[in-house]
Amino acid sequence: MQRLDLATTPATPWKNGGGATRELVRWPPGAALDDFGWRVSVATLASSGAFSVFAGVDRHLLLLQGQGVRLHSSDGRVDHTLHRPWEPVAFAGDVPVHCTLTAGAAEDFNLMLRRGQWRGSLQVLRTACAPGRTGAGLCMVLAGKWQHGAQRLAPGQGLWWSAPTDAAPLCPVPDTGAALAWVGVQAENLNEIGL
């Protein structure tokens, strides 16, 4: 069980200058962008433009900040408009997707899964959960405060794990408006992945 903090995670500019990405996890360690199994990152969308294409990857995204973000492809396979934060959408990373910002800069939370190797989901939780109970995963506080054993987690802080483990439950602190981004992933074939 590893702790993460978005505030101390370095940002890497996009090649096209349209934003920057803070990578929280890339699994397995040392994998390149064309052969990772799963990856979670937070991206700043500074201007409208093309998303990178990730062949063989399924993408899940939710808006963290901003409004009026439209994701669309020229062939019509992708057409999602994000009007408000915390509503996950999913689409194939193989499809060339263009992002149009209609109300200024935005920030999003991304889960990428190598198709045929990993499956998973992205959701927003407001009730207690058990980190470490899925094959692998990550959770990051979106709002309020969350208690994990003796640790209290604030927005942008969270946990990630690469294998099932027993860990203290993660509980929302009452009356703080607590919300949590939750990623649970599972290897499609445990022998192929080496688990």
Task: Express each pLDDT in 44-57 by its tens digit.
Answer: 998 898 888 899 99
Smallest Cα–Cα separation from 170: which of 38, 178, 162? 178
Average pLDDT rounded to a whole number, residues 117-142 = 96
Average pLDDT rounded to a whole number, residues 124-136 = 95
Predicted pLDDT of residue 52: 86
Q: Is the pLDDT of residue 9 over 70?
A: yes
The maximal CA–CA distance of the chain, rounded, in angstroms, is: 50
pTM for the model stands at 0.92
What is the chain's mean pLDDT, rounded? 92
How far apart CA 172 and CA 179 sit, in angstroms, is 8
Predicted pLDDT of residue 46: 87
Average pLDDT rounded to a whole number, residues 169-173 = 97
Smallest Cα–Cα separation from 86: which of 61, 112, 58, 51? 61
- Cα angle for residues 90, 56, 111 (degrees, 5° grid): 40
Residue at token pair 């062939």: 75
Smallest Cα–Cα separation from 162: which of 48, 27, 20, 5? 27
How does 63-79 read in b/e, with b if 16+ C-beta sit within 10 Å? Answer: bbebeebbbbeeeeebe
Distance (Å) of CA 7 to CA 22, 84, 125, 157: 9, 23, 21, 8
Count Cα neighbours of 74 within 13 Å in the Cβ-side half-sphere: 3
* Pairing state between β 98-101 and 49-50: antiparallel
pLDDT band of residue 1 (cuts 50, 70, 90) is very high
Percent over 70 (pLDDT), the chain: 95
Average pLDDT rounded to a whole number, residues 8-28 = 87
Predicted pLDDT of residue 194: 42
Phi then psi for 175, rounded to 5 degrees?
Answer: 65, 25
Q: Is the pLDDT of residue 189 over 80?
A: no
How far apart CA 142 and CA 140 sit, in angstroms, is 6
Predicted pLDDT of residue 136: 96
Predicted pLDDT of residue 83: 87
